[in-house]
Chain A
Amino acid sequence: MIVAKRKPLNEIAEMVAPYKRVSVIGCRSCVAICLAGGEKEVKMLVSALKVKNKKEGRDQEFEALVVERQCEKEWVKEVEDKVLGSDITLSMACSLGAQTIGDMYPSHVTFPGLNTGIFGVPEEQGVWSEKCVGCGNCIIHTTGGICPISRCAKSMLNGPCGGSANRKCEVNLDTDCAWSAIYDRLKIQNRLELIEKVTPAKDWSTSHAGGRRTYVREDAKLTPHQKKGKEAIQ
């Protein structure tokens, strides 16, 4: 899932300070699950902002809202009145949610309340670790199911490097060496021969470097005819 972290209270308070009516909108999907922007976090942030304002003598109105998935227009539509009825929207979803609202209502100001970080998995309650960077060309079938692009500091395709010692990474001694983990995994799978195979340079054209990527599934798209029909019903 997408894992995010709330921005510090002072930063948020400063961002929204010039505006009178603030709508704070959370999301019930990834950011709720990673304890960053669900209904609870939204309500707690609103309470904290109210207390802060009271202490500092500022007068603002806050409305706490939450939608099922903020990255989808249909869900955002449900709170459209509240969004447009406020002077500013603080999105407590990932950046996708904030940008969805921003794209839907371009003249309305929408700010991010979270810092969107990683594609991560919960290792234990309260701990998430990055395991994918979305390079668009998955190779983990050759690396024992462990992604060296996200888990190796150098994103090496042939590892480990000389900086790997005692299963740790030289960049940060608290971080496990991805290639050491790959070696261990291949060993228990009896596929160690793969570690000696030289992997040539990866095709990075599928990755982020080429600007915004768009995924299209032609067969799922509505035909112009279908679109017309839908519009007629609406």
Chain B
Amino acid sequence: MKAASIQVILCKCCTELPAVLNIERLRKLAEESCNVVSVMMVDAICDGKGLPAVVNNAKEAEVDRAVILACHKKDIDPALFKAYRRAGINEFMIEIVNIREEALLPHASEPERAQLKAETMLAASLARARLLAPLEKQTEAMKTKNVVIIGAGASGQAAAHAAAKTGAHTILIEKTGKSLKAPGIVMPHSQVVGAKGYGGNYQLTIKAGDKIENLDAAAVVIATGGGWTQLKGPLAKAVKDAMPLYKLHEHLQAGSVPKGPVVFVDTPDPTGKTMKVQDYAWDDTLETALQLKRKARETQVFVIFQEMRAFGLSELAYKEAADLGIKFVRYDKSAVPKIDPKEPTNLIVKDFAQGDVLSIKIGTLVFSSIPANQDNQAIADALRIPMSVDGGVRRGSIQRWPVTTPRPGIFVCGSALFPKSNEVAKAEGEAAGSMAGEFVAKGEIEFGGSVAQVTQEKCSACLTCIRTCPYEAPFIGTASKAEIKEQLCQGCGMCVGICPSKAIELHHYTDDQIMAQARELLGGDF
């Protein structure tokens, strides 16, 4: 085998790195390390401008792998891998080390320790890089262009329209019988009860009325929305005139005004101590309070909240609300509102900002009441995706991929994530719909790469991997030994860790690679 020849890229992070680290010492260490044939400094690899020079350097130095000392920014990875591919270097031969967040920032006040950590990390990554092997991904054609959207609420309909625009075949699945206009097929009285397969080629089991149907789907959008709850806790007993926000909305549309003073609270039980995501008052609350106040100037209006969020230009509503005399009272979860023991129709609230204790008379109580959908858990179980602690579907990454889930080809939007206003739900629906459309438009799925593989001679067929894998990727093949279905493997390494016979290895994270790195980091043999 040809000896490894490594290119080391030191990204200066503009001026951040040299401000703390002795970058020349790092460069020298890299240059003196085994197998390193080229060391190059760049100002900021994430802006992409330096990439051509980096790749040219790789070509000229005839390296076959690279170690890049930079930051966490994964956004640059696709461009980086593409550029290196042009130089004939496989993406699995590139090791990116986050020295900015792991060495520089935590030890910014202690430059020597930062330097030591950066140098150790460089040595460890070089040890790992020497053992890297190129891996090729495979492709498989998608069998269908179907995008299945679960839920026909605001976000679901927006998703259907957006996905249809990309040329995907949309199928809208709705639990209730509500009639609606949407592109593609609409299936009322239907629910997803099971799913097999993988991103690009899912086989869904749909319960349509009393019938069970199978449906191929390339992508799935979860748009199950939120549900409604009733007023809970001691307030439910004390207050007769209470209504959820959407009911007040209907009243106002019909032209009737509720009995004053109208008190808006941010949760179905403001006297409870638990702070959950749904306890935010959204711009819907603000907007409805304004509509009411515009209609009935003499009605006293209070908005009692722990936290309030208004999106974009909705913030302007605060000013109008203040001008019209809507009273905002913020409370802290350590002092939740109580019912006045002397006057059961009064709510005692400690104003967090002023410190005053107010006793507010309730004419009509209006509460936000969109908890996470009760169906979410069942749908997440069927599609094998994780849930967040608040009962919403967990997304891939809050900043970078806000409408994706950890599983390829499954997207999520609207109140299925956590309760939110119609406008935001629609915007998310459009995003999820277009991403699903884009996913389907590729026409093929990519798999393989960093996935697990069984060495059959070592396998005891003990079934441990099959019992452990959350994605049902391992199975017992014709040789009565475990095999891994690459399309289903997410490369999580659970089977690798638990296999009692050490018969499973995760490509790109092999024992050799990890141990070489660990030996450098921790020193010595173990």
Which residues of the other chain, A, contact B526 by a CB distance below 8 angstroms?
Answer: 47, 50-51, 54
Which residues of the other chain, B, contact A125 by a CB distance below 8 angstroms?
Answer: 464, 467-468
Interface string of B453-479 (1 = CB under 8 A from A): 000001010101001100000000000
The verdict on B22 contacting chain A, using a C-beta distance below 8 Å, is no
A28 to B457, CA, bound (A): 11
User: Which of the segments A35-43, A83-91, A156-164, A169-177 contacts the partner chain?
Assistant: A35-43
User: Which of the segments B206-214, B227-235, B296-304, B499-507 contacts the partner chain?
Assistant: B499-507
Nearest B residue (CB) for A36: B500
Which residues of the other chain, B, contact A43 by a CB distance below 8 angstroms?
Answer: 502
Whether the pair A38, B500 counts as a contact (CB closer than 8 A) is yes
Which residues of the other chain, B, contact A93 by a CB distance below 8 angstroms?
Answer: none
Whether the pair A41, B468 counts as a contact (CB closer than 8 A) is no
In the assembled complex, how far is the CB of residue A32 from the closest CB belonging to chain B, in whole angstroms? Answer: 4
Total interface residues on A, CB under 8 Å, equals 17
A41 to B502, CA, bound (A): 9
Nearest A residue (CB) for B499: A40
Which residues of the other chain, B, contact A153 by a CB distance below 8 angstroms?
Answer: none
Whether the pair B468, A33 counts as a contact (CB closer than 8 A) is no
Whether the pair B460, A29 counts as a contact (CB closer than 8 A) is yes
Counting chain B residues whose Cβ lies within 8 A of the other chain, the interface size class is 10 to 19
Nearest B residue (CB) for A46: B526
In the assembled complex, how far is the CB of residue B152 from the closest CB belonging to chain A, in whole angstroms? Answer: 39
The verdict on B32 contacting chain A, using a C-beta distance below 8 Å, is no
In the assembled complex, how far is the CB of residue B162 from the closest CB belonging to chain A, in whole angstroms? Answer: 42
**Which of B460, B499, B524 is most buried by chain A, counting CB atoms within 10 A of its CB?**
B460
Nearest A residue (CB) for B504: A40
Which residues of the other chain, B, contact A54 by a CB distance below 8 angstroms?
Answer: 524, 526
Find residues 468-526 in chain B having any chain A CB closer than 8 Å to their own CB: 468, 498-503, 524-526
Which residues of the other chain, A, contact B525 by a CB distance below 8 angstroms?
Answer: 50
Find residues 11-32 in chain A having any chain B CB closer than 8 Å to their own CB: 28-29, 32
Whether the pair A39, B464 counts as a contact (CB closer than 8 A) is no
A112 to B464, CA, bound (A): 25
Contacts A38-B500, A38-B502, A41-B500: A32 and B460 contacting too (C-beta < 8 A)? Answer: yes
Instruction: Pick 26 A–B contacts, CB within 8 A, sort by A.
Output: A29-B460, A32-B460, A32-B501, A33-B460, A33-B464, A35-B464, A35-B498, A35-B500, A38-B460, A38-B500, A38-B502, A39-B458, A39-B501, A39-B503, A40-B498, A40-B499, A40-B500, A40-B501, A41-B500, A43-B502, A47-B526, A50-B526, A51-B526, A54-B524, A54-B526, A66-B501
What residues make up the interface of A, taking CB atoms closer than 8 Å to B? 28-29, 32-33, 35, 38-41, 43, 47, 50-51, 54, 66, 124-125
What residues make up the interface of B, taking CB atoms closer than 8 Å to A? 458, 460, 462, 464, 467-468, 498-503, 524-526
Known: A35-B500, A38-B460, A38-B502. 4 other contacts (CB 8 A): A28-B458, A32-B460, A39-B500, A39-B501
